[in-house]
Structure 1
Amino acid sequence: MQTNIKSLKFAVNEEKPAPNDVEAGASNNAEDQSQDEQKCENGNRRILQRIETVPDIKKDTSGITTQYIATGIVNLGAFAAGACIAWSSSALPLLHHTDPVFSHAPSNLSAISNSTHSRLSLSDSEASWTASLLCFGAVCGAIPTGLISQYFGRKKTLLYLALPLVVSWLMVASSPNVYGLYVGRFVGGLSVGAFSVGVPPYVEDIAEKQLLATLANFYHVHLACGVLFGYVVGMLSSTAWISFLCATIPVAYFIAFIFLPESPAYLMSQGKYNEAKAALRYFRGIDNNIDSEIKDLKEQMRNYTKQKISFGQLLSTKATVKALIVSFGLMIFQQMSGIYPVLFFAQYIFDMFCVSQNLPGAAIILGFCFVSSTYFSTMLLKTIRRRVLLMLSFSTMAVSLGCSVIYYHLQASTQYENGTWIPLFTMSMFVSVYAAGVGPIPWLMLREIFPKHATRRATAIAAGFHWMLAFAVTKMFQHLVKKIGLGWALWYFASICIIGLIFVYFFVPETKGRSLEEIQNEFDGIHKKRKHRHVIEVESVSET
């Protein structure tokens, strides 16, 4: 082995030293030769591993930094999705004529709308469709993404999702009529829904087990950061500039993500063993032994092909049916709690509360609370049980909405002096508690209550159902406010949170610290009894 490596070394270094330098550097050459021999004996495998793979990000030998950076890059898609959600709050007030979407006539929004010279002037119904069509497009984008990524690869699928987003922002910025807005929002929604299904599997494939819980939460953090970004650019009071700035996010995402390798699991499923090994080495660094992980990947691929199930087969067993009921129930109460109407129409809601502060500034404070709570939710999920956190989250959301409603009715009946901090505090508390519990836990439970071979099918169904509910509640919000007023609409959302609390108490199992087998047995109604140990005493009888 040493002779082979020395021959390689001398083959590369063909330049010979000058004769007058031989004697001067003899001692140094002897010392270098001994060091090279030591490196060959101890570091030969590391040298060969460096040759096989792409250079790691910043020469990260442990792979941890590489995984964090790669997860941050792929979750720029979630950041772009958050900006799409916040666009409605920032841009719709600029596209309205003096009559707002809701039944009351807020003076602040009228002033903002009159200060701009937009080519479009939307009616109430048109503004409602413009906001909600994003969610309808997300339904159409979420369901087929899993199948598409299996055939074309996870990286290619996620990479080319940037193109519909850029097209949608250009259409929204330059459309001469409302139909261009409709198409632009729908096309953007296709990417938003596809990101919600395509990003988590890619992160799961590249992350080490001890880092997966932290890296999986990057999606929710980046989504919240995108919402905050959308609120911040809303201070420009120009729909064209808001759209163009939001369009820079998918462009940056495409440029950064193109340099990352394909998912090792997908490459292994396609029989590309060497490429899968090189990709996994990229994410693990040169200091980690990946042989055991490669073997595990092979075994997972074999099991996946044997146990691969269709959408219909999810309904074939009692445990998966109950798991679907739990997932769908959590998605229903998550969306019907009113989180998307609050995020989509933040400026309108604050204006109807007669918030004296600048409306874009109030929305920015709301977005900052959303981001900070999402960031700290990882620590809460590590320490607090899922059921407890869900019940605390639903109950606090109901209290926050209830306090908002009481303030709204007091303000309307007694001509209470306009203020800022009470509605801003209650709505910020609402989104903060949502981000800490009700927001991430239903997605987290999808990986905990389903078998691994059924997780991605179930995720696609749950994601499509999630965005369908988001579309329905966002479209319904306008009609609720017109028919019964903002106060009673918020009472409705508070009552949904209370029903969600009851649902969690009676139907949602605890998954923290429990194995999949235990959870599945609970769904099947199997309660393992504690094993009893029978002690048999043997007496020795001495012969007399």
Structure 2
Amino acid sequence: MEIGRDGGEDGNREALLAKDEQGEDGGSYIWVVVISTLVAVSGSYVFGSAVGYSSPAELGIMNDLGLSLAQYSLFGSILTIGAMIGAIMSGHIADFIGRRGSWQAMGISDIFCLAGWLAIFFSKAAWLLNLGRLSVGYGIGLLSYVVPVYIAEITPKNLRGGFTTVNQLMICCGVSLTFLLGTVVRWRILALIGIIPCLVQLLGLFFIPESPRWLAKMGKQNEFESALRILRGKDADISHEVDEIRDYMETIQSLQEARILDLFQRKYAHSVIVGVGLMVLQQFGGVNGIAFYASAIFVSAGFSSGSIGTIAMAAVQIPMTTLGVLLMDKSGRRPLLMVSAAGTCLGCFLVGVSFVLKVRDHEWLKALIPSVALVGVLVYTGSFSLGMGGIPWVIMSEIFPINMKGSAGSLVTLVNWLGSWIISYTFNFLLNWSSAGTFFIFASICGVTVLFVAKLVPETKNRTLEEIQASMNSFSIEPK
């Protein structure tokens, strides 16, 4: 009887906490979280459109500006150099001035993206083209850290996974729609279209609240409770969440303000290995090589043009990412990551096989090559969109304590963009070395990802940020 009664009390307490998170007004508060998330992920669309731009624009830019393959590889990859610079600064900018605001972290990134797209639109020479691409890269380097962290910090724990994964959904929308638009409009008009989501986000930032956890960290207690009240609903009981965040802040405020070298202390080793490891494996699985140069892959595999393949990629990405969003808070992070990584392994293997078949003399085998390549790329794209695209960013936003988020965010985002630059710059040269070998290497890395997730990545579903960080790091938070 004692066990049953305790279990009943625990169940009642959990039910009350869930009710508090949903608010007494029947969940109408959620629209504030939805609108704030939509404004934030407008920046994710900018990210996606920048990544997707170089594939449909390749032939037009090379013909109009007379660029060689090496020059265009520089243009494609210089986006990631700008993003690395933005990544180095992203965590500290977000910590110093806040996650949102028209002149704060997201707003600053929008200014750089606007300037970059305009420079590309007006380009008459390679130097201005590259400068514009670099500027866009810097802007999305900031956004790639700030957006998932902001969403994670404003969202209730029972919705956090799905809402944070909307970041990846909008990246996929940006990539897919840019692929599609690139088949019907010229590269200059495509650059001009890239300005629209920047303007949407700039205007929207005036109407969304700051992150309550950032306000609490900065000691702005009145603003902290006010922002949390806006996000949870006027009739919700936020006392439990307020106390939990305050207790956590009191714990971390006793710690020295973090520097990037502090991340390499033993107590943060698990968080760093997971955060950095996922980003390395995500990028060295070949995603940006495939995304940046999809058209070239399909032509190399035997298609008369790359437009059919890129349209098919666009058709796969959005529904698979949507499925990932819906499953995130039901199946959990780890199962989705493992299924996603296994799928990318299979997709790369199939593309590699298609290039092996290409060197055979049998006519009936050669007829299969485009189909096998297309299926492989679609399996890869769909599987990546399901989990590997978005979940590493979700986990990155969850596993580091708030006093380390600035330094950790800069490190993890820098590693991601460094890997992206290496792959995007060398991809064309790797294809010239061995098309099949390139994709078999990517398949092997994707296979290693499955093992990495199984052994090291924690499940963070239905746990508060404070609970996750206390379990992964050496200090604990005792309730008052």
TM-score range, shorter chain: 0.7 to 0.9
**1:62 and 1:304, CA in 2 relative to 1: closer, same or farther beyond 3 A?**
farther
The answer to whether the 8 A contact 1:62-1:287 is kept is no
**2:413 aligned partner:** 463
The answer to whether the 8 A contact 2:90-2:406 is kept is no
**1:505 positional shift:** 4.6
Match of 1:69 among 28, 35, 44: 35
**1:209 and 1:517, CA in 2 relative to 1: closer, same or farther beyond 3 A?**
closer
Does structure 1 residue 336 correspond to structure 2 residue 302? no
| Cα deviation code 1:70-122 (max 9, x no counterpart) | 1011110001110000000111121224xxxxxxxxxxxxxxxxxxxx2x111
Counterparts of 1:1-150 in structure 2, within 5 Å, are: 62-97=28-63, 118=64, 120-150=65-95
- CA-based RMSD: 2.8
The answer to whether the 8 A contact 2:232-2:238 is kept is yes
**1:249 positional shift:** 1.5
Equivalent AA in structure 1 for residue 447 of structure 2: I
| Unmatched runs of 5 consecutive residues or more in structure 1 | 1-58, 98-117, 525-544
**1:96 and 1:60, CA in 2 relative to 1: closer, same or farther beyond 3 A?**
farther
Query: Please, which moves more after superposition, 508-517 or 345-354?
Result: 508-517
**Aligned pairs, number:** 441
Equivalent AA in structure 1 for residue 143 of structure 2: F
Match of 2:183 among 232, 235, 257: 235
Does structure 1 residue 422 correspond to structure 2 residue 367? no
Equivalent AA in structure 2 for residue 203 of structure 1: I
**1:293 and 1:381, CA in 2 relative to 1: closer, same or farther beyond 3 A?**
closer
The answer to whether the 8 A contact 1:411-1:417 is kept is no
**1:441 and 1:271, CA in 2 relative to 1: closer, same or farther beyond 3 A?**
closer
Match of 1:491 among 403, 417, 440: 440
The answer to whether the 8 A contact 1:337-1:494 is kept is yes
Partner Cα separation in structure 2 for residue 217 and residue 195 of structure 1: 14
Partner Cα separation in structure 1 for residue 429 and residue 72 of structure 2: 12
**1:206 and 1:165, CA in 2 relative to 1: closer, same or farther beyond 3 A?**
same
| Cα deviation code 1:340-382 (max 9, x no counterpart) | 11111111111111225x6334212202312221211134434
Does structure 1 residue 454 correspond to structure 2 residue 401? no
**1:284 and 1:359, CA in 2 relative to 1: closer, same or farther beyond 3 A?**
same
**1:232 and 1:492, CA in 2 relative to 1: closer, same or farther beyond 3 A?**
same
**1:162 positional shift:** 1.0
The answer to whether the 8 A contact 1:355-1:418 is kept is no
Does structure 1 residue 406 correspond to structure 2 residue 353? yes
**1:238 and 1:513, CA in 2 relative to 1: closer, same or farther beyond 3 A?**
closer
Secondary structure at the counterpart of residue 328 of structure 1: helix
**1:273 positional shift:** 3.9
| Unmatched runs of 5 consecutive residues or more in structure 2 | 1-24, 476-480
| Cα deviation code 1:3-39 (max 9, x no counterpart) | xxxxxxxxxxxxxxxxxxxxxxxxxxxxxxxxxxxxx
Match of 2:108 among 139, 160, 169: 160
When normalised by structure 1's length, the TM-score is 0.74
**1:205 and 1:438, CA in 2 relative to 1: closer, same or farther beyond 3 A?**
closer
Question: Which structure has more RCO (C-alpha within 8 Å, separation ≥ 6)?
Answer: 2
Task: Provide the identity percentage.
Answer: 26
Secondary structure at the counterpart of residue 363 of structure 1: helix
**2:235 aligned partner:** 287
**1:39 aligned partner:** none
**1:251 and 1:474, CA in 2 relative to 1: closer, same or farther beyond 3 A?**
same
